Structure 1
Amino acid sequence: MTELRSVEFAGVDLEALAGAEGRVAVLIPAEGTLSPGARRLNRLTKGAVARAVESEGWSGLKPGEVLTLAWPAGMAAEAVDLVKLERRPTRAEARKAGAALAVAAGKSALCVLAENTRFPEELALGLVLRGYAFTARKSAPAETPAGATVQCKTPEEAAEAYADRRAVAEGVFFTRDLVSEPTNVLGTVEFANRLEALRELGVEVEVLDEDRMAELGMGALLGVGMGSAMPSKLVIMRWKGGEGAPLALIGKGVVFDTGGISLKPAQGMEDMTMDMGGAGVVSGVMKTLALRQAKANVVGLVGLVENMPSDRAQRPGDIVTSMKGDTIEVINTDAEGRLVLADVMWHAQAAEGPAAMVDLATLTGACIIALGHENAAVFSNDDGFAGDFLKSAASEGEGAWRLPLGQAYDDQLKSQKADMKNVGGRPAGSITAAQFLQRFVKDGMPWIHLDIAGVAQVSKDTELSPKGATGWGVMALDRLVRDRFESKE
């Protein structure tokens, strides 16, 4: 797994600043008032800090952005970074500041003068998350960023708070690594193996093979993987940290999606290594819960398949029988994720008896047309549950927007030959996909469907991640578990 930048918290030591190597950062509010640490840096740099905060360059910065003084005279450091941040920032502002420092610092060692500023642990989280780089498939040895020291008023409290945030960061990194891997490395077998390694953290892991899934009647899932030489698998991860019925998290794990016989265009097909993004998020959440010893019962289920064309592949026009017993006419073999999720969702309800259920999938291109790369689409049959998730996502800075469900959309799935079709035509494609999934939700089961097609992997840098896999959803779902499902005792 990609290593996180190490972060330590220490008391404020102004005497050590002159000899500090790497980079030194200090937090300064917009009006330019200098803290004791900033005043010490100003003396060491012969007034350069004060001149910088009086400049137009400083006034033009937004909160959380950085102005750099390179190779300051009177110091051993290669740079002094001035971060525009109020003494009492929001958590999001503190993370943004940490992320900006990660970009400025690169691989260099970093000393951050947080002093009395609130949320130093959130600044550290932003620093770590934005410092991610997937280098596992490069021939040169990976270079982990040098360590960072955050000097603050209460280092023991900050270190304790950061231990919890670090668990979240490790879950995000795990997800990003899984989504970034090529399929010739991370096929269904290797994916399952990596999830089995979570046993070392106390997660119960069960892997169902094709024979067992056939016994259970999972014809929808197994039909998707028929064309591939890779065996389809269902991995079940149970974290038993609380009491009562678990929250079920279900992830689509299509390790590569050619579209099957309904073949995708060649352009952009290389990005379909990320079509297991939903399974990646579920895996990252389960790792986070185990690392922070969450007082909650959560079960994660991921259906792992590869969608390939071959002489054995599922064809348009085939009719498959789901575990529920409903028959599905396969109109388009490239609408395969919903077939996988249908059987996994039904198995989750039948075998795990969850209190509520969330599924995640890079499901539809229509979602990207509707919401771009800023928000995941949220669908739900329960207003309270949906509201709790949207609140969790907002508090963690992960964009999410609720879209409707309705009978008229469901009617688009009618089939003359089977109980339903797997597609409903071009209009409202992400909504009809959600309607398809709702048919596999039992009455009374609170359920959320998250279409993460636009946010799982992006082509430009975001605030907390470089371009590529984002790990979207790990923080929001961890927050949902904390606020709604975790014991408060």
Structure 2
Amino acid sequence: MAIILKPTDKLDEKSINNYVLFADENYSLFSVGSSFIFKDLKNFTKSINKTSKKRDFLTFNLNSKQTAIIIKLKKNQSELENETGGASFYEFLKKAEINEITFSDKNIYSASQKNIFINDFIHGMLLKSYEFEKYKTKKSNYNLKINCNKKLLLPNLNSKYRYKPLIEGINFTKELVSEPGNILHPDEYAKRLKQLSKIGLKVSIYDKKKLKNLGMNALVGVGQGSIRGSYLVTLEWKGSKSKKDPVAFVGKGVCFDTGGISLKPAKFMEDMTYDMAGSAVVVGLMKTLALRKANVNAVGVVGLVENMPDGNAQRPGDIVKSYSGKTIEILNTDAEGRLVLADALTFTEQKFKPKFIVDLATLTGAIIVSLGSEYAGLFSNDDKLSAQLSNAGEKVGEKVWRMPLHKNYDKLINSKNADMQNINYIGGAGSTTAAQFLQRFILKKTPWAHLDIAGMAFSKYNGALNSWGATGFGVRLLNKLIEDNYE
């Protein structure tokens, strides 16, 4: 399945099969010039009844070979509305089995808005079109060809512009999240990340031996029951000539989570292939920044492990010393993501001294109870960073909701045998106590935000901008954060 963009210097109206036109909420066409193809359409739009006006898309046969598809737009649509409109249009075309369309540059708002609008619209179509069919023997045969004036599509063809790099970064995230655990284990994941050096990222891989020497016992402990390796991978992008401190992103990469000795129930355990989604978002973001040559210095850090039950697996009751020097009592081996992030966060803060750190993880089921699949949970020690994330999320439709952190929650994770324990055994506030745990590993008061994306990383129904499966949630959010505030 693919969308193929075909730019052209001149459109031959007589050879167009499906002409796409835009109209206002009353189905009055925008300016279309004196072209012959529009004469009957103007009369057609005048005759549209009230029932038809409620629909977003209408088709009209121009002749036996040509069809006009009219798209209704609201006045002054936002970027997000343009994108969701494009996504809905893609679904319409697929259902109608329309394989080729042509956009007219004579019919898209004013000249100053053409590039912005059409690229937002096509961006939404591209987002919606992704499906993971890698392992299907019979793949979908639906492909869509989009013809358009070259001047309108120019931003899509320029790798420095944000649309094409964003699609590539988001789709890379979706692909990683969609891969089964027997394929994308930590060893394979680390190999794939090494390949990103080809696009200008500096990739450094720390294997189990190096991690042990560094004292990352919290991270290593999670993966010690697996035959696969455990890794910390850093991806650096130096896109700014200034020597300013970078912005940093940290991701949980548990490639498969059985729960370890604290074994999960069998039902729905297969979904734990996406317990590495936080890391995939960081990777997709870093790929996007490199492809669009972002004017920012950024670093991505991901901890890659597999949590398996084994004779060598971590046990409930074990005590480990983290990279920070703080000790952790492991009361439940299924609260493993916070252990991976604990070492990764301290390492990121100490090595890179960033302006801020945002970590992402499918960390708790409790956040789904709280927010469902509409908002990611946001926990932060910094009001400015929180506001920037919230604003960016609203603009791109990847919403976050700030949840509380407070020192009174600390008593729920204090341990009698170590500096802290990895779960709250008293009950309640599961997402907050997990975030409170992570906050202890920010040692130098660096502005920090934790995004719990457990309800957002994977969808079992179609969303506005994605089909069933991996959503890529977070890549557009963090790209917008950087775009609006740090470039």
- The total of aligned residue pairs comes to 473
Distance in 2 (CA, whole Å) between partners of 1:446 and 1:99 is: 35
Distance in 1 (CA, whole Å) between partners of 2:486 and 2:412 is: 35
**Structure 1 match to 2:133:** 135
Amino acid at match of 1:166: K
**Structure 1 match to 2:167:** 169
SS in 2 for 1:122: helix
Matched, 1:436 2:413: no
**Structure 1 match to 2:19:** 24
Q: How is 1:121-132 mapped onto 2 (pairs within 5 angstroms)? A: 121-132=119-130
Ranges in structure 1 where 5+ consecutive residues have no aligned partner: none
Checking the alignment, whether the CA contact within 8 Å between 1:11 and 1:155 is kept in structure 2 is no
| Alpha-carbon offset, residue 335 of structure 1 | 0.5
Amino acid at match of 1:34: L
**Structure 2 match to 1:206:** 204
Distance in 2 (CA, whole Å) between partners of 1:223 and 1:99 is: 43
**Structure 2 match to 1:74:** 63
Q: How is 1:422-461 mapped onto 2 (pairs within 5 angstroms)? A: 422-425=422-425, 426-461=427-462
Checking the alignment, whether the CA contact within 8 Å between 1:220 and 1:321 is kept in structure 2 is yes
Distance in 1 (CA, whole Å) between partners of 2:401 and 2:8 is: 40
Checking the alignment, whether the CA contact within 8 Å between 1:42 and 1:49 is kept in structure 2 is no
Q: How is 1:66-465 mapped onto 2 (pairs within 5 angstroms)? A: 66-68=57-59, 72=61, 74-77=63-66, 80-86=68-74, 88-106=76-94, 108-113=99-104, 115-117=107-109, 118=113, 119-140=117-138, 143=141, 145-151=143-149, 156=154, 163-242=161-240, 243=242, 244-425=244-425, 426-465=427-466
**Structure 1 match to 2:52:** 57
Q: Compute the RMSD of aligned alpha carbons.
A: 2.4
Checking the alignment, whether the CA contact within 8 Å between 1:120 and 1:152 is kept in structure 2 is no
Runs of 4 or more off by more than 6 Å in structure 1?
none
Pick closer, same or farther for the CA change 1:332–1:156 going to 2, 3 Å: closer
Checking the alignment, whether the CA contact within 8 Å between 1:4 and 1:144 is kept in structure 2 is yes
Distance in 1 (CA, whole Å) between partners of 2:266 and 2:386 is: 37
Distance in 1 (CA, whole Å) between partners of 2:126 and 2:319 is: 48
Distance in 2 (CA, whole Å) between partners of 1:379 and 1:220 is: 22
SS in 1 for 2:15: coil
Amino acid at match of 1:456: A
SS in 2 for 1:126: helix
Pick closer, same or farther for the CA change 1:183–1:476 going to 2, 3 Å: same
Distance in 1 (CA, whole Å) between partners of 2:171 and 2:65 is: 33
Checking the alignment, whether the CA contact within 8 Å between 1:237 and 1:300 is kept in structure 2 is yes
Distance in 1 (CA, whole Å) between partners of 2:327 and 2:199 is: 40
TM-score by length of 2: 0.91
Distance in 2 (CA, whole Å) between partners of 1:4 and 1:204 is: 31
| Alpha-carbon offset, residue 67 of structure 1 | 3.4
Distance in 2 (CA, whole Å) between partners of 1:444 and 1:227 is: 34
Pick closer, same or farther for the CA change 1:340–1:68 going to 2, 3 Å: farther
Distance in 2 (CA, whole Å) between partners of 1:455 and 1:278 is: 10
Distance in 2 (CA, whole Å) between partners of 1:304 and 1:161 is: 30
TM-score by length of 1: 0.91
SS in 2 for 1:359: strand
| Alpha-carbon offset, residue 41 of structure 1 | 5.3
Amino acid at match of 2:103: V
SS in 2 for 1:5: strand
Distance in 2 (CA, whole Å) between partners of 1:350 and 1:451 is: 23
| Alpha-carbon offset, residue 392 of structure 1 | 1.1
Pick closer, same or farther for the CA change 1:444–1:83 going to 2, 3 Å: same
Ranges in structure 2 where 5+ consecutive residues have no aligned partner: none
Over residues 229-287 of structure 1, what are the superposed CA-to-partner deviations in whole Å (9 max), with x where a residue is unaligned? 11111111000111311111100000001111111111111111000000000000000
The percentage of aligned residue pairs carrying the same residue is 40
Checking the alignment, whether the CA contact within 8 Å between 1:66 and 1:100 is kept in structure 2 is no
Distance in 1 (CA, whole Å) between partners of 2:194 and 2:162 is: 23
Distance in 1 (CA, whole Å) between partners of 2:371 and 2:79 is: 25
SS in 2 for 1:169: helix
Pick closer, same or farther for the CA change 1:255–1:82 going to 2, 3 Å: same
Amino acid at match of 2:24: P
| Alpha-carbon offset, residue 20 of structure 1 | 2.0
Distance in 2 (CA, whole Å) between partners of 1:212 and 1:459 is: 39
